[in-house]
């Protein structure tokens, strides 16, 4: 007979603890850093919404089972999709990266 599997959650890795500490507690005093982050966010949202005009991108998007709506699921910006977190992450990632990929593939 094999030994039972423990259901006790181990302590998180030090790297994860450091990342969480940084995200929660680091004070950003640089106005230029905040402006840069804001511009990156706006550019990312713009690229994602523009990608919705490309059928090759939108055919990759949506629920795995057509017509499925996940109550309290994650919404995909610019669409009517409300999906499970994993599928929503893929959809949002595809939108955001679509124009980046197409802008640089020849470079």
pLDDT in tens, 55-73: 999 999 999 998 888 999 9
**Residue 16 vs residue 102, higher pLDDT:** 16
Query: Residue 96: which pLDDT band, with cuts at 50, 70 and 90?
Result: very high
Domain annotation covers residue 3: no
pTM of the prediction? 0.71
Domain annotation covers residue 78: yes
Q: Residue 81: its pLDDT value, please?
A: 94
Domain annotation covers residue 74: yes
Distance between CA atoms of 61 and 79, rounded to whole angstroms?
A: 10
Residue 106 has pLDDT above 70, yes or no: no
**In which domain, by residue range, is 82 found?**
30-104
Q: Residue 19: its pLDDT value, please?
A: 96
């Amino acid at each position: 007979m094999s030994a039972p599997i423990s259901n006790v959650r181990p302590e998180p890795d030090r790297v994860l603890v450091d990342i969480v500490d940084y995200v929660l507690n680091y004070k950003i005093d640089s106005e230029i850093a905040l402006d840069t982050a804001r511009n990156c966010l706006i550019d990312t949202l713009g690229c994602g919404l523009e990608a919705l005009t490309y059928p090759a991108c939108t055919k990759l998007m949506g629920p795995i089972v057509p017509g499925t709506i996940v109550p309290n699921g994650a919404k995909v910006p610019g669409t009517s999709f409300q999906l499970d977190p994993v599928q929503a992450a893929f959809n949002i990632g595809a939108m955001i990266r679509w124009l980046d990929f197409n802008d640089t593939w020849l470079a």
